């Protein structure tokens, strides 16, 4: 099995695409007005309009209602990303902090309220855990 992507359902694809283009630093592919993808070597972040939910089954997903999933992106310098994103992020959940498991992390919410974690392994043990991963 090959993990392919995570998809966010939203009522405003354009707003989330603009936000994640700033966060990730790549342009989204837009095969349809109701769908976008950020394809990076480690996987794909997809954004679909709530109109597409009916294709999966009515009520199978609800826009801006996520309280269980954290989107995580490994970065080189958490503190530099925090400074870079300050003008674009409206809700910071956790300022840069070194976590007990050895990652430095900063957490914030996207415009739909989804939780986003930017992290970098900083302890020797954490760096070993991530060595060889893309």
Which tokens is 95 given?
Answer: 């300022």
User: What pLDDT, on a 0 to 100 scale, did the predictor assign at position 17?
Assistant: 98
User: What pLDDT, on a 0 to 100 scale, did the predictor assign at position 134?
Assistant: 64
Range of the structural domain that residue 134 is part of: 66-134
Cβ neighbour number for residue 108 with a 10 Å cutoff: 21
| Domain identity same for 47 and 83 | no
The contacts of residue 89 (CB under 8 Å, 6+ apart) are: 108, 109
% helix / strand / coil in the chain, to the nearest 5?
25, 35, 40
Q: What string of pLDDT tens digits covers the 134 residues of the chain?
A: 989 999 999 999 999 999 999 999 999 999 999 999 999 999 999 999 999 999 999 889 999 999 999 999 999 999 999 999 999 999 999 999 999 999 999 999 999 999 999 999 999 999 999 997 76
CATH number at residue 16: 3.30.720.120
| Domain identity same for 73 and 121 | yes
Q: Sheet containing 35-40: give its strands across.
A: 5-10, 43-49, 35-40, 29-32
| Domain identity same for 45 and 109 | no
Total number of domains in the chain = 2
Which tokens is 18 given?
Answer: 């603009």
| Domain identity same for 35 and 84 | no
**DSSP SS3 for 8:** strand
| Domain identity same for 15 and 49 | yes
Q: Give pTM, 2 decimals.
A: 0.94
């Amino acid at each position: 099995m090959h993990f392919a992507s995570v998809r966010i359902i939203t009522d405003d694809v354009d707003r989330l695409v603009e936000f994640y283009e700033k966060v990730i630093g790549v342009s989204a592919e837009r095969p349809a007005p109701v769908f976008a993808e950020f394809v990076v070597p480690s996987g794909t972040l997809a954004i679909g309009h709530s109109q597409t939910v009916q294709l999966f089954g009515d009520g199978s997903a609800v826009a801006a209602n996520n309280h269980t999933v954290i989107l995580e992106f490994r970065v080189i310098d958490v503190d530099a990303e925090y400074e870079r994103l300050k003008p674009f992020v409206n809700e910071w959940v956790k300022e840069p902090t070194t976590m007990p498991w050895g990652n430095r992390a900063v957490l914030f919410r996207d415009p739909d309220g989804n939780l986003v974690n930017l992290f970098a392994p900083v302890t020797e043990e954490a760096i070993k855990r991530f060595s060889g991963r893309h």
